Chains A and B, each alone.
Chain A
């Protein structure tokens, strides 16, 4: 039941987003330079896409409003359900895991050697997930990091990031 409620609420939001996105595409594409005729201009296809997205948005909106989405959306945006959504253990875990990835991808790679970056990422992630014991954590992380780097560098001869 709650699953369906959430879906119709998200359908409503998605409908609005799609409509807005479609309009943005139409405006943007009409502003693109026309070289010969609009039919072969760079903006032509995005323009068509804009129209399609608008149609999709409208269909979704109608469907979700019929499905009682306005009430559902209000329910979703009540304080306690928002808290439930953002503080659920699942959301928390995803945010933290994504954060580790951000640090790994944007912060470490390219600044320090790929193997070291990978080692740090793996140790921290395993530790957070409580995947295994400390000793095994470190051993597995070291081995994986060294192995992956070595295989790609020497066997496949791919330059590492």
Chain B
């Protein structure tokens, strides 16, 4: 027992030495800063950045490549919080939960402090997830195997149900409608099992399906640009910057939220196929129910901001668990990371502990360095970022348009994707005017393929019968959760009918 422990400790030591070695430690820092900047630019996402960087890392040493990619990953996920809070253009559906409270705070003139809280929350979240990654990987691996096709299907439904429930102040029904519209959008293209064209009307472009990133940039970016510029005098962010560093009472106020959300985030991140997007919404939901000031969520609550943002980042560590134990990535950027380490001969899976025993620790320590740099540089960059993002909307918003064009184009290098982005932008604008939230739509596009294939697969596995599926324990838990969300959503919509017309995200 003790020997095994000592051996692990030695491995940890050698991994730490690698991660802190020259030039890795500097690479991590620089990459984190670069990631923050990329994440902060509306239209550019962590997935895109990692996708473009994979080949660049091939010629690097393994430790340097890991440092580089994880730095960008951590930085970009956190950087998304700047644009979500300051201009209400989230880079992912999970950041949409951040924007819910963050943007309200920014408009009230507390943008600096909101970002400060967001960064500290991100830090706590990632820290917790790293600890879980180190100590719980062998156990969580067993749990991950309990998730079969049926559970994947239920998770996807659960994801859009909970997101639809929370992302709007208006009735949850609207959120759910939009979520299922997202599922439909994901159906467009060639079916993944038989390659049968669905809703493609003979177009080669549509056969490729609607890609996630252009749709995301359209509904969050273009529609926000139009919503802001339609006003003759767009809102301006209050000039007072406020403090960036949250003071002690503030930290106290959000710390327990952050720890709880960190645990939720890592746990959900560890489920293959769920990913950070669902994590942020679940955590937001739990936060809202547990908080004494739950009714303030969505109206500028620091607790709400912290629950979403912590879970969002905690997922990074969580997603590494199925990635390292099963080679099943939990989210699109994690998939990119997987591809990159595979090229370096690291084969995540059962042999990892034998073939590259220190890789788990290398990942954990590098994540730790990246997280620390994110905290430091994130806070340092906040003041200048807020100043830049505060400039006149009539100048800032048009400049974002070419950025969204590039962001949509670069993922697949396809002109069609720019058209998709624009059409989704207009669609998003109209739906928004009618008080429909946008986050469930994007989440639906992400989860739609899983829902479709897993459902059909699960039925095939049961050879056409649903009965054997109903007895699976994880499945029962999920079904109960879905029904519960449905009932509480219906109740809420009765209560809130016609009382509120707050702008949804």
Contacts and interface: CB of A to CB of B under 8 A. Distances in A.
A126 B456 contact: no
Interface residues of A, number: 63
Contacts of A39: 456, 459-460, 464
Interface residues of B, number: 52
Interface stretch (B81-89, B119-127, B390-398): B390-398
A53 B226 CA distance: 28
What's the dominant secondary structure at chain A's contact region? helix
A148 B43 CA distance: 13
A98 B229 CA distance: 11
A40 interface: yes
Q: Is the interface of B mostly helix, strand, loop or mixed?
A: helix
A67 B171 CA distance: 14
- Residue from the set B52, B402, B426 with the largest chain A CB neighbour count within 10 Å: B402
A93 B180 contact: no
Interface stretch (B21-29, B90-98, B188-196, B347-355): B188-196
A49 interface: yes
B452 interface: yes
B314 to A, nearest CB: 28
Nearest to A4: B498
A35 B205 CA distance: 24
Given A4-B498, A110-B415, A148-B406, A32 B398 contact: no
Given A33-B196, A129-B394, A49 B405 contact: no
Interface string B448-481: 0001100111011000100000000000000000
A148 B403 contact: yes
B443 to A, nearest CB: 15
Contact of A158 (B52, B231, B398, B455): B52
A45 B187 contact: yes
B451 to A, nearest CB: 7
Given A42-B193, A90-B230, A158-B406, A109 B398 contact: no
A140 interface: yes
Interface string B421-463: 0100110010000110000000000000001100111011000
B27 to A, nearest CB: 17
Interface string B183-205: 11001000101101011000000
B193 A40 contact: yes
Given A32-B196, A90-B231, A161-B418, A105 B402 contact: no
Interface in A110-127: 110, 114, 118, 121-122, 125-126
Q: Counting chain B CB atoms within 10 Å of each CB, which of A4, A39, A140 scores highest?
A: A39
Contacts of A25: 184
Contacts of B419: 105-106
Interface of A: 3-4, 7, 10, 14, 18, 25, 28, 32-33, 35, 37, 39-46, 48-49, 52-53, 56, 59-60, 67, 89-91, 93-94, 97-98, 101-102, 104-106, 109-110, 114, 118, 121-122, 125-126, 129-132, 140, 144-145, 148, 152, 156-161
Given A56-B173, A144-B399, A159-B410, 17 more contacts: A32-B198, A33-B194, A39-B459, A42-B194, A60-B173, A94-B229, A97-B230, A105-B422, A121-B401, A126-B395, A131-B394, A131-B395, A132-B395, A152-B406, A152-B410, A158-B52, A160-B406
Sorted from nearest, which 6 A-B pairs have the closest CB atoms? A42-B191, A131-B394, A42-B196, A45-B452, A125-B398, A39-B459
8 contacts: A33-B196, A44-B455, A89-B232, A102-B422, A125-B398, A126-B395, A131-B398, A132-B394
